[in-house]
Amino acid sequence: MRKLTRDEVRELGRIYRRTASDLAIARVESRDQRLVSYLNNLVIRAHGMIYRTEKSHPRAILDFFLKDYPLIFRQTSRYTLATFLIFMAISLCSFIATWRNDDFADFAYVGPVTVQMIKNHHSWWEVLNKEAPVGSASIMANNIWISLKTFAMSIIPVAGTVDVLMPSALMFGSINALILKYKMSLKLWSFMIGHGVPEFLAIFISGGAGLMIGMAVLIPGERTRREALVERGAQAIKLMAGAIPLLVIAGLIEGFISPLPIHYGYKFGVATAMAVALTAYLMKRN
Protein backbone atom coordinates (compact mmCIF):
# COMPACT_ATOMS: atom_id res chain seq x y z
CA MET A 1 0.00 0.00 0.00
CA ARG A 2 2.82 2.43 0.78
CA LYS A 3 4.21 1.98 -2.73
CA LEU A 4 0.96 3.12 -4.37
CA THR A 5 0.24 6.68 -5.40
CA ARG A 6 -2.80 8.54 -4.08
CA ASP A 7 -4.70 7.93 -7.32
CA GLU A 8 -3.78 4.24 -7.26
CA VAL A 9 -5.09 3.91 -3.70
CA ARG A 10 -8.39 5.46 -4.76
CA GLU A 11 -8.53 3.16 -7.77
CA LEU A 12 -7.87 0.16 -5.55
CA GLY A 13 -10.79 1.12 -3.32
CA ARG A 14 -13.07 1.58 -6.33
CA ILE A 15 -12.27 -1.73 -8.00
CA TYR A 16 -12.36 -3.53 -4.62
CA ARG A 17 -15.96 -2.41 -4.09
CA ARG A 18 -16.80 -3.29 -7.68
CA THR A 19 -15.27 -6.77 -7.37
CA ALA A 20 -17.10 -7.37 -4.08
CA SER A 21 -20.36 -6.42 -5.82
CA ASP A 22 -19.56 -8.75 -8.74
CA LEU A 23 -18.83 -11.55 -6.26
CA ALA A 24 -22.21 -11.08 -4.57
CA ILE A 25 -23.96 -11.25 -7.95
CA ALA A 26 -21.92 -14.26 -9.10
CA ARG A 27 -22.75 -16.23 -5.95
CA VAL A 28 -26.46 -15.79 -6.66
CA GLU A 29 -26.64 -15.97 -10.46
CA SER A 30 -23.61 -17.89 -11.70
CA ARG A 31 -23.19 -21.65 -11.72
CA ASP A 32 -19.50 -21.36 -12.59
CA GLN A 33 -17.76 -22.22 -9.32
CA ARG A 34 -14.38 -21.31 -10.78
CA LEU A 35 -15.59 -17.77 -11.43
CA VAL A 36 -16.94 -17.47 -7.89
CA SER A 37 -13.69 -18.80 -6.43
CA TYR A 38 -11.62 -16.45 -8.57
CA LEU A 39 -13.60 -13.37 -7.50
CA ASN A 40 -13.61 -14.52 -3.89
CA ASN A 41 -9.82 -14.88 -3.85
CA LEU A 42 -9.44 -11.41 -5.37
CA VAL A 43 -11.65 -9.89 -2.67
CA ILE A 44 -9.81 -11.71 0.14
CA ARG A 45 -6.40 -10.62 -1.13
CA ALA A 46 -7.49 -7.02 -1.66
CA HIS A 47 -9.19 -6.89 1.74
CA GLY A 48 -6.00 -8.06 3.45
CA MET A 49 -3.97 -5.40 1.68
CA ILE A 50 -6.42 -2.55 2.25
CA TYR A 51 -6.92 -3.13 5.96
CA ARG A 52 -3.42 -4.30 6.91
CA THR A 53 -2.07 -0.78 7.43
CA GLU A 54 -5.02 0.21 9.57
CA LYS A 55 -4.60 -2.81 11.85
CA SER A 56 -0.90 -2.07 12.41
CA HIS A 57 -1.76 1.05 14.42
CA PRO A 58 -1.56 0.57 18.22
CA ARG A 59 -5.14 1.77 18.48
CA ALA A 60 -6.18 -1.32 16.51
CA ILE A 61 -5.41 -3.58 19.51
CA LEU A 62 -7.80 -1.63 21.71
CA ASP A 63 -10.41 -1.54 18.94
CA PHE A 64 -10.09 -5.30 18.52
CA PHE A 65 -10.89 -6.04 22.16
CA LEU A 66 -13.56 -3.34 22.48
CA LYS A 67 -15.38 -3.87 19.18
CA ASP A 68 -14.23 -6.84 17.11
CA TYR A 69 -13.89 -9.55 19.74
CA PRO A 70 -17.45 -9.37 21.17
CA LEU A 71 -18.82 -9.54 17.62
CA ILE A 72 -16.66 -12.55 16.69
CA PHE A 73 -17.66 -14.29 19.92
CA ARG A 74 -21.36 -13.88 19.16
CA GLN A 75 -20.93 -15.00 15.55
CA THR A 76 -19.19 -18.20 16.63
CA SER A 77 -20.97 -18.76 19.95
CA ARG A 78 -22.60 -22.00 18.78
CA TYR A 79 -19.19 -23.70 18.80
CA THR A 80 -18.43 -22.41 22.32
CA LEU A 81 -21.86 -23.62 23.40
CA ALA A 82 -21.21 -27.05 21.85
CA THR A 83 -17.96 -27.36 23.82
CA PHE A 84 -19.76 -26.35 27.01
CA LEU A 85 -22.51 -28.93 26.45
CA ILE A 86 -19.97 -31.70 25.80
CA PHE A 87 -18.18 -30.81 29.04
CA MET A 88 -21.40 -30.71 31.05
CA ALA A 89 -22.68 -34.00 29.61
CA ILE A 90 -19.48 -35.81 30.67
CA SER A 91 -19.53 -34.08 34.06
CA LEU A 92 -23.13 -35.07 34.70
CA CYS A 93 -22.40 -38.73 33.97
CA SER A 94 -19.39 -38.60 36.29
CA PHE A 95 -21.44 -36.88 38.99
CA ILE A 96 -24.16 -39.54 38.91
CA ALA A 97 -21.66 -42.41 38.89
CA THR A 98 -19.69 -40.99 41.83
CA TRP A 99 -22.85 -40.18 43.78
CA ARG A 100 -23.85 -43.83 43.54
CA ASN A 101 -20.38 -45.20 44.29
CA ASP A 102 -17.37 -43.30 45.67
CA ASP A 103 -15.03 -45.78 43.98
CA PHE A 104 -15.82 -44.19 40.60
CA ALA A 105 -13.67 -41.26 41.72
CA ASP A 106 -10.55 -43.36 40.99
CA PHE A 107 -11.65 -43.71 37.38
CA ALA A 108 -12.44 -39.97 37.27
CA TYR A 109 -8.83 -38.95 38.00
CA VAL A 110 -9.60 -38.06 41.63
CA GLY A 111 -6.93 -39.73 43.74
CA PRO A 112 -7.73 -41.70 46.91
CA VAL A 113 -5.92 -39.07 49.02
CA THR A 114 -8.22 -36.33 47.75
CA VAL A 115 -11.28 -38.50 48.32
CA GLN A 116 -10.21 -39.18 51.91
CA MET A 117 -9.54 -35.49 52.54
CA ILE A 118 -13.04 -34.63 51.32
CA LYS A 119 -14.53 -37.27 53.60
CA ASN A 120 -12.54 -35.80 56.51
CA HIS A 121 -13.59 -32.24 55.58
CA HIS A 122 -10.01 -31.10 54.90
CA SER A 123 -9.49 -28.22 52.46
CA TRP A 124 -6.58 -29.46 50.33
CA TRP A 125 -6.56 -26.31 48.21
CA GLU A 126 -5.46 -24.11 51.08
CA VAL A 127 -1.82 -24.80 50.22
CA LEU A 128 -2.19 -22.03 47.61
CA ASN A 129 -2.09 -19.51 50.44
CA LYS A 130 1.71 -19.85 50.39
CA GLU A 131 3.87 -18.10 47.80
CA ALA A 132 0.91 -16.57 45.96
CA PRO A 133 2.96 -14.73 43.27
CA VAL A 134 4.84 -17.88 42.26
CA GLY A 135 1.67 -19.93 42.43
CA SER A 136 -0.22 -17.42 40.31
CA ALA A 137 2.40 -17.49 37.54
CA SER A 138 2.37 -21.28 37.57
CA ILE A 139 -1.44 -21.32 37.43
CA MET A 140 -1.46 -18.94 34.45
CA ALA A 141 1.06 -21.04 32.54
CA ASN A 142 -0.88 -24.24 33.26
CA ASN A 143 -4.22 -22.69 32.24
CA ILE A 144 -2.78 -21.35 28.99
CA TRP A 145 -1.28 -24.78 28.22
CA ILE A 146 -4.65 -26.46 28.85
CA SER A 147 -6.39 -23.89 26.67
CA LEU A 148 -3.96 -24.39 23.77
CA LYS A 149 -4.24 -28.16 24.11
CA THR A 150 -8.03 -27.91 24.07
CA PHE A 151 -7.86 -25.79 20.93
CA ALA A 152 -5.47 -28.14 19.14
CA MET A 153 -7.33 -31.35 19.98
CA SER A 154 -10.74 -29.89 19.15
CA ILE A 155 -9.65 -29.48 15.52
CA ILE A 156 -10.57 -33.17 15.29
CA PRO A 157 -14.34 -32.53 15.31
CA VAL A 158 -16.26 -33.77 18.36
CA ALA A 159 -14.01 -36.80 18.98
CA GLY A 160 -10.99 -34.60 19.73
CA THR A 161 -13.10 -32.25 21.84
CA VAL A 162 -14.48 -35.13 23.88
CA ASP A 163 -11.02 -36.65 24.30
CA VAL A 164 -9.36 -33.45 25.55
CA LEU A 165 -12.23 -32.47 27.86
CA MET A 166 -12.76 -35.97 29.28
CA PRO A 167 -10.25 -35.86 32.19
CA SER A 168 -11.27 -32.41 33.42
CA ALA A 169 -14.98 -33.08 33.00
CA LEU A 170 -14.82 -36.43 34.79
CA MET A 171 -12.88 -34.88 37.66
CA PHE A 172 -15.24 -31.90 37.84
CA GLY A 173 -18.33 -34.06 38.04
CA SER A 174 -16.80 -36.53 40.49
CA ILE A 175 -15.46 -33.91 42.91
CA ASN A 176 -18.77 -32.06 42.91
CA ALA A 177 -20.59 -35.27 43.77
CA LEU A 178 -18.18 -35.94 46.65
CA ILE A 179 -18.28 -32.43 48.13
CA LEU A 180 -22.07 -32.38 47.93
CA LYS A 181 -22.36 -35.82 49.51
CA TYR A 182 -19.96 -34.94 52.33
CA LYS A 183 -21.21 -31.36 52.75
CA MET A 184 -18.14 -29.48 51.56
CA SER A 185 -19.67 -27.80 48.52
CA LEU A 186 -19.77 -24.30 50.02
CA LYS A 187 -16.10 -24.43 50.99
CA LEU A 188 -14.87 -25.60 47.61
CA TRP A 189 -17.15 -23.44 45.52
CA SER A 190 -16.27 -20.32 47.51
CA PHE A 191 -12.65 -21.06 46.63
CA MET A 192 -13.02 -21.85 42.93
CA ILE A 193 -15.99 -19.80 41.71
CA GLY A 194 -14.10 -16.51 41.47
CA HIS A 195 -11.42 -17.75 39.08
CA GLY A 196 -13.65 -20.47 37.64
CA VAL A 197 -15.83 -18.03 35.68
CA PRO A 198 -13.10 -16.62 33.37
CA GLU A 199 -11.12 -19.87 33.38
CA PHE A 200 -13.93 -22.14 32.19
CA LEU A 201 -15.13 -19.53 29.71
CA ALA A 202 -11.65 -19.34 28.16
CA ILE A 203 -11.41 -23.12 27.91
CA PHE A 204 -14.84 -23.38 26.27
CA ILE A 205 -13.90 -20.61 23.82
CA SER A 206 -10.65 -22.43 23.00
CA GLY A 207 -12.48 -25.70 22.41
CA GLY A 208 -15.05 -23.91 20.27
CA ALA A 209 -12.31 -22.28 18.18
CA GLY A 210 -10.71 -25.64 17.45
CA LEU A 211 -14.07 -27.26 16.78
CA MET A 212 -14.89 -24.48 14.32
CA ILE A 213 -11.76 -25.21 12.28
CA GLY A 214 -12.48 -28.95 12.31
CA MET A 215 -16.04 -28.44 11.13
CA ALA A 216 -14.87 -26.09 8.36
CA VAL A 217 -12.71 -28.89 6.99
CA LEU A 218 -15.35 -31.57 7.52
CA ILE A 219 -18.39 -29.60 6.34
CA PRO A 220 -17.26 -26.56 4.29
CA GLY A 221 -20.74 -25.89 2.92
CA GLU A 222 -20.92 -24.08 -0.43
CA ARG A 223 -17.31 -22.94 -0.20
CA THR A 224 -14.20 -24.93 -0.95
CA ARG A 225 -12.44 -26.46 2.05
CA ARG A 226 -9.57 -24.06 1.57
CA GLU A 227 -11.85 -21.02 1.62
CA ALA A 228 -13.73 -22.28 4.67
CA LEU A 229 -10.46 -23.06 6.47
CA VAL A 230 -9.02 -19.61 5.75
CA GLU A 231 -12.15 -17.84 6.99
CA ARG A 232 -12.70 -19.99 10.08
CA GLY A 233 -8.99 -20.13 10.87
CA ALA A 234 -8.79 -16.34 11.03
CA GLN A 235 -11.76 -16.24 13.39
CA ALA A 236 -10.31 -19.02 15.54
CA ILE A 237 -7.00 -17.18 15.98
CA LYS A 238 -8.87 -14.06 17.05
CA LEU A 239 -10.93 -16.07 19.53
CA MET A 240 -7.75 -17.50 21.05
CA ALA A 241 -6.23 -14.01 21.27
CA GLY A 242 -9.16 -13.00 23.46
CA ALA A 243 -9.08 -16.17 25.56
CA ILE A 244 -5.51 -15.66 26.79
CA PRO A 245 -6.29 -12.48 28.80
CA LEU A 246 -9.17 -14.34 30.46
CA LEU A 247 -6.72 -17.00 31.63
CA VAL A 248 -4.35 -14.36 32.97
CA ILE A 249 -7.21 -12.81 34.95
CA ALA A 250 -8.21 -16.26 36.22
CA GLY A 251 -4.63 -16.95 37.33
CA LEU A 252 -4.43 -13.66 39.24
CA ILE A 253 -7.72 -14.32 41.02
CA GLU A 254 -6.78 -17.91 41.82
CA GLY A 255 -3.38 -16.91 43.13
CA PHE A 256 -4.28 -13.80 45.12
CA ILE A 257 -8.01 -13.78 45.93
CA SER A 258 -9.36 -17.34 45.97
CA PRO A 259 -7.05 -18.60 48.77
CA LEU A 260 -7.70 -15.62 51.10
CA PRO A 261 -9.29 -16.52 54.46
CA ILE A 262 -12.22 -14.13 53.98
CA HIS A 263 -15.96 -14.64 54.16
CA TYR A 264 -17.26 -16.68 51.23
CA GLY A 265 -19.73 -13.92 50.40
CA TYR A 266 -16.91 -11.71 49.12
CA LYS A 267 -15.65 -14.45 46.83
CA PHE A 268 -19.10 -15.09 45.44
CA GLY A 269 -19.34 -11.33 44.95
CA VAL A 270 -16.15 -11.39 42.86
CA ALA A 271 -17.58 -14.23 40.77
CA THR A 272 -20.88 -12.40 40.27
CA ALA A 273 -19.13 -9.19 39.27
CA MET A 274 -16.92 -11.11 36.85
CA ALA A 275 -19.89 -12.92 35.29
CA VAL A 276 -21.88 -9.70 34.87
CA ALA A 277 -18.90 -7.84 33.42
CA LEU A 278 -18.09 -10.62 30.92
CA THR A 279 -21.73 -10.95 29.87
CA ALA A 280 -22.04 -7.19 29.33
CA TYR A 281 -18.77 -7.14 27.41
CA LEU A 282 -19.44 -10.10 25.13
CA MET A 283 -23.08 -9.21 24.47
CA LYS A 284 -22.58 -5.49 23.92
CA ARG A 285 -23.47 -4.03 20.54
CA ASN A 286 -21.15 -1.61 18.80
| Residue type present at position 232 | R
Cβ atoms of 56 and 48 within 8 Å: the answer is: no
pLDDT at residue 124, as a whole number: 63
**Which residue, 72, 276, 65, 245, is CA-closest to 143?**
245
Q: What is the pLDDT of residue 224?
A: 83
Rounded CA separation 57/39 (Å): 29
Q: What is the mean pLDDT of the chain?
A: 87
Say how far apart CA 99 and CA 188 lie, in whole Å.
Answer: 17
CA atoms within 13 Å, Cβ hemisphere of 133: 0
Tell me the pLDDT tens digit for each residue of 19-64. 999 989 988 888 888 898 888 888 888 887 777 655 456 777 888 8
Q: How far is CA 66 from CA 73, 209, 272, 283, in A?
A: 12, 19, 21, 11
Rounded to whole angstroms, how far apart are CA atoms 65 and 36? Answer: 33
Residues 111-170 have pLDDT tens digits of 888 898 888 888 766 554 555 555 566 767 878 898 999 999 999 988 999 999 999 999
Domains of the chain, by residue range, sit at 6-56, 66-283
CB 247 within 8 A of CB 143: yes
Closest CA to 210 of 154, 256, 249, 157: 154
